[in-house]
Structure 1
Amino acid sequence: MEKQAIGFIDSGVGGLTVVKEAMRQLPNESFYYVGDTARCPYGPRPAEQVLQFTWEMTNFLLHKDIKMLVIACNTATAVALEDIRKKLRIPVVGVILPGSRAAIKATQNNQVGIIGTEGTIKSRMYEKMMHEKDREVQVTPLACPKFVSLVESNEYQSAIAKKVVAETLTPLKNNHMDTLIMGCTHYPLLRPIIQNVMGDHVKLIDSGAETVSEVSTLLDYFHLAESSESKTKAERKFYTTGSKQMFHGIASEWLNMDHLEVEQIRLGTGL
């Protein structure tokens, strides 16, 4: 009998940072991942379009009989989480609330920064979530629209990336924040550069990694977790709407997997 998989969806390769943490924390679980790289980035797109695209990825994975859905994209979480959660019978997890909780726990001076796509920053969902928990937290948001393209083009370790990150984060440099939320699952691939620019005194919060802890808790709560005693091998399947080769190159390096099963798929229209 096949294991039911956990489904992960993202606008591109960014959600792989969540999968990497999931592989570490939940080694017995099967994962199916959809990256909509052909239509990435989602950040500048209208909310209605992001909602449509997110549903298309969701429906694809529902046909794979997943047992839980992780929206591993901050923009899609901000736009689509509530709608999808209301309409599905399986648990649905987004990345914004776990990241918000972690930032409140981490900050010592109540000064928190958020970097994300235009869509995520415009939604103000991080501010809303944090202020529901603690009204004293001062939040400084900054849209970083060029970061996703650096990752999707596999230039996240390049000299260009260092220049773009340094220039983009300049408005945050003189701020007194001690905590910065990487509010896009693409951004952890740029983490060394972001940390270097912000300084070691600023704690970086990986919203995707924080999400996996919530996934683990929900698996136990709903009695969906796989046992280490299971004789069925965990599956790792990856689907992309864009270049199979580009996706494979980034995914195999980031996940440290030599034999990666990647399939190119087509979802709807609107390219």
Structure 2
Amino acid sequence: MDRPIGVIDSGVGGMTVARELMRQLPNEELIYVGDTLRCPYGPRPKEEVIEYTWQMVHFLLKKQIKMLVIACNTATAFTLQELKATLDIPVLGVIQPGARAAIKGTDNLQIGVIGTEGTIKSKAYADALHQINPFINVSGLACPAFVPMVEQGVLDGPEAHKVVRETLEPLKQNSSIDTLILGCTHYPLLENMIQQVMGEDITVICSGDETAREVSVILEYYQLLYQSNRLPNHHFYTTGDKQLFEKIANDWFDTPILNIHSLQLEVTQQL
């Protein structure tokens, strides 16, 4: 079906999901919305996250998307069930795919989750993990410094290493995890530093990779896959600093991102 896939995130982090979608589904077109102006979502009240998420969804529905990917863990935790119940297109978040991958990866049933304050407080990952295996022990840690650092394009260097090391120290010292879920789509941009701090014996799970695999399965199931070969025309929208967004995007993607637009989201009523 020749309609785009919609991808939403609180900022630039969902690009980690978008890049994997582009790699695994090279013929599909994406429309990405990053609400960088109001990022991060993690410290915001649940009602505010729901409102902002719906604003992005309404924009994408006008673009006739055939599937919605919520590439934001906080938004997934607070809005996934409502969106699935309301929309007449498939909706996928990033939490369930990440949980399934972590259970495959763990040997000792000790799984760590790092994420925003909202994601950790919601216990969404713990709930998803325990639905599959009630004997999993989950250690969660909020990392509020990570998203602002990524949104500013600070992805390496001594100061970034210091922030990552000090933030993760409690999890490293007080748990026996063998698997760590990066429970925020911004965090894969810091993955190398996170792996260094936690140690090579820890399996790090990026939920974006798993999410892209599930998107492919869902599109095939609903017969929504684009069947021909083409060079897709992706579009990226940001509500914040376009130049910074463009810099981070072109540092992260393998090929230049040409269609980057500024966006002012409208306050709309939920469906």
Identify whether the pair has TM-score above 0.5, normalized to the shorter chain: yes
State the distance in 2 between where 1:164 and 1:259 align. Answer: 29
Equivalent position amino acid for 1:130 in 2: L
**TM-score after normalising by structure 2:** 0.96
- By how many angstroms is 1:65 displaced? 0.3
- By how many angstroms is 1:258 displaced? 2.3
- 1:203 and 2:212 correspond: no
Is contact 2:33-2:237 (8 Å) kept? yes
- 1:255 and 2:253 correspond: yes
Is contact 2:11-2:35 (8 Å) kept? yes
State the distance in 1 between where 2:257 and 2:226 align. Answer: 23
Helix, strand or coil: the match of 2:5? strand
Match of 2:154 in 1: 155
Equivalent position amino acid for 1:224 in 2: L
- By how many angstroms is 1:260 displaced? 2.0
- By how many angstroms is 1:209 displaced? 1.3
- By how many angstroms is 1:268 displaced? 3.6
State the distance in 2 between where 1:139 and 1:77 align. Answer: 19
Is contact 2:249-2:257 (8 Å) kept? no
State the distance in 2 between where 1:95 and 1:259 align. Answer: 23
State the distance in 1 between where 2:61 and 2:182 align. Answer: 29
State the distance in 2 between where 1:60 and 1:197 align. Answer: 39
State the distance in 2 between where 1:259 and 1:165 align. Answer: 29
Match of 1:212 in 2: 212
User: 1:259/1:137 Cα in 2 relative to 1: closer, same or farther (>3 Å)?
Assistant: closer
State the distance in 2 between where 1:233 and 1:196 align. Answer: 37
- By how many angstroms is 1:259 displaced? 4.4
Alpha-carbon displacement from aligned partner over 1:184-224 (angstroms, at most 9, x marks no partner): 00000000000000000000000111111110100100000
Equivalent position amino acid for 2:148 in 1: S
Equivalent position amino acid for 2:207 in 1: S
Match of 2:176 in 1: 176
Is contact 2:105-2:203 (8 Å) kept? yes
Identity %: 54
Match of 1:26 in 2: 25
Equivalent position amino acid for 1:119 in 2: G
- 1:146 and 2:145 correspond: yes
Alpha-carbon displacement from aligned partner over 1:92-115 (angstroms, at most 9, x marks no partner): 000000000111111000000000
State the distance in 1 between where 2:157 and 2:85 align. Answer: 42
Match of 1:83 in 2: 82
Is contact 1:73-1:95 (8 Å) kept? yes
Helix, strand or coil: the match of 2:260? strand
- By how many angstroms is 1:160 displaced? 1.5
User: 1:236/1:172 Cα in 2 relative to 1: closer, same or farther (>3 Å)?
Assistant: same
Match of 2:262 in 1: 264
State the distance in 2 between where 1:79 and 1:20 align. Answer: 24
Alpha-carbon displacement from aligned partner over 1:207-256 (angstroms, at most 9, x marks no partner): 111111110100100000112x34x5312100000011000000011012
Q: Which runs of 4+ in 1 moved over 4 A?
A: none
State the distance in 1 between where 2:219 and 2:135 align. Answer: 33
How well do the aligned residues superpose, as a CA RMSD in angstroms? Answer: 1.1
- Number of equivalent positions: 266
Is contact 1:78-1:120 (8 Å) kept? yes
Is contact 2:94-2:207 (8 Å) kept? yes
State the distance in 1 between where 2:266 and 2:65 align. Answer: 20
Match of 2:105 in 1: 106
State the distance in 2 between where 1:55 and 1:267 align. Answer: 10
- By how many angstroms is 1:158 displaced? 2.5
Match of 2:136 in 1: 137
Q: How does 1:11-22 map to 2 (within 5 A)?
A: 11-22=10-21
- By how many angstroms is 1:28 displaced? 0.7
Equivalent position amino acid for 1:86 in 2: A
Q: How does 1:217-232 map to 2 (within 5 A)?
A: 217-227=217-227, 229-230=228-229, 232=230
